[in-house]
Amino acid sequence: MAVRVSSTEIDHDDARERLEIDLLLEAIHRRHGYDFRGYAIASLRRRLWHRVLAEDLQSISGLQERVLHEPGCMERLLRDLSINVTEMFRDPSFYRALREQVFPLLRTHPFIRVWNAGCSTGEESYSMAIALREEGLLDRTRIYATDIDAGALQRASSGVFPLERMQRYTENYLRAGGTETFSSYYCADGDGARFDPSLGEGVVVAQHNLVTDGSFNEFHLIVCRNVMIYFGSELQEEVLQLFGDSMTRFGILALGRKESIRRSRHEDDFEPLDQAEKIFRRRR
C-alpha cells in the first residue's frame, strides 16, 4: 500500500528546515561575524546542504553544531558560500565597454581609484589592470580588490593563475579589445601562469564583507559583477547604498548582466552608460 504524505507534513518539514537555516545563520553571525542572513534563500539552501553532505552529517542543525565547535568546518562552509566563479576578461564585451565609454571619463582625473568588490581569486582585478595599462591609465590608478574569502584573496595576491586556462583567457582578451600579445603579460611557472608583478603594484588586496563592513574610500569606478544576484532584495538595497556612499561625484558603477538597479530605491541616483553591460553613472 502506498503511503500518502499530506501537504501539512511537507509544510511542517519546510518550516523546520527554514528554522534550522535561520538558527545556523544567526550562529555564524554571532560566533564568526559573517552575516549571510540576507542572502537569497534558494541558493543559500543548496550550498548549505552541499556542506551538510560533504561533512557526512544528517541535518543543518548538525552543521550548526560543527560550525560552532570546529573552526575548520566554518572555513570550508565559507568557501561554499563565497562565489568564486571567475575568469580573466569574462564577458569580453564588458571590457570593450570599459575601454570605449568608461576609461575616457576616468582619464579626466589626475588619480583614479577603482574598487573591485567581490574580486574572488583576482582574475578580474588583473584583467582590469591590463586594460588600464593598455589605455595608459594604470600608472595613476589604484585598484582595491576585496572579497570575504581570505583563501581566495591569498590566491589573488599571488598573481598566479592556472596555466591550463591561458588559451581561453587569451581568446577572451582578444575579444575584449586587447592590443598586445597576451602571453607577454605572464610566464609559465610549473602548472601556473605568473603575471607581471608590475601589474599588481597598484592593486591593494584586502578582506571586506559587503554585508557587515562599511565604506572605506571614495571611488571613481566600482565594479561588483555577479555578486548581488545571490543577495535578497533588502540586502541588495543595503549594498547599493554602500556603493553610493563609497563613490565620487559622477562615479561609475558596473554590475553583472543579470543584475539591475531597476525598481531599486537607488534607481534615480544613476543613469545608464551602457544598459546592456549594466554600467551606470551617478547623476550627481
| Domain extent listing, the chain | 7-81, 92-282
In terms of Cα–Cα distance, which of 149, 131, 44 is closest to 86?
A: 149
DSSP bridge partners of 142: 113
Give the three-class secondary structure for 117. Answer: strand
Instruction: Measure CA 55 to chain center.
Output: 26
Across the beta sheet with 160-162, what order do the strands follow? 160-162, 192-195, 186-189
The CA distance from 63 to 84, in Å, is 22
Predicted pLDDT at 32: 85
The CA distance from 69 to 62, in Å, is 11
What CATH number does the domain located at 92-282 have?
3.40.50.150
Predicted pLDDT at 3: 47
Predicted pLDDT at 8: 60
Taking a C-beta distance cutoff of 8 angstroms, is the pair 210, 245 a contact?
A: no
Please give the DSSP secondary-structure letter assigned to residue 247.
E
Predicted pLDDT at 159: 96
DSSP bridge partners of 270: 282
Q: From first to last of its 284 residues, what are the pLDDT tens digits of the chain? A: 554 555 565 576 788 999 999 999 999 999 888 888 888 898 899 999 999 999 999 999 999 999 999 989 998 998 888 767 789 999 999 999 999 999 999 999 999 999 999 999 999 999 999 999 999 999 999 999 999 988 899 999 999 999 999 999 999 999 999 999 999 999 999 999 999 999 999 999 999 999 899 999 999 999 999 999 889 889 999 999 999 999 999 999 999 999 989 889 999 999 999 999 999 999 98
Taking a C-beta distance cutoff of 8 angstroms, is the pair 243, 268 a contact?
A: no
Predicted pLDDT at 9: 54
The CA distance from 214 to 150, in Å, is 18
Written as one letter, the residue type at 146 is: T
For the chain, the residue count is: 284
Predicted pLDDT at 85: 73
| Cell of residue 230, nine digits | 545571490
Predicted pLDDT at 40: 87
Predicted pLDDT at 10: 54
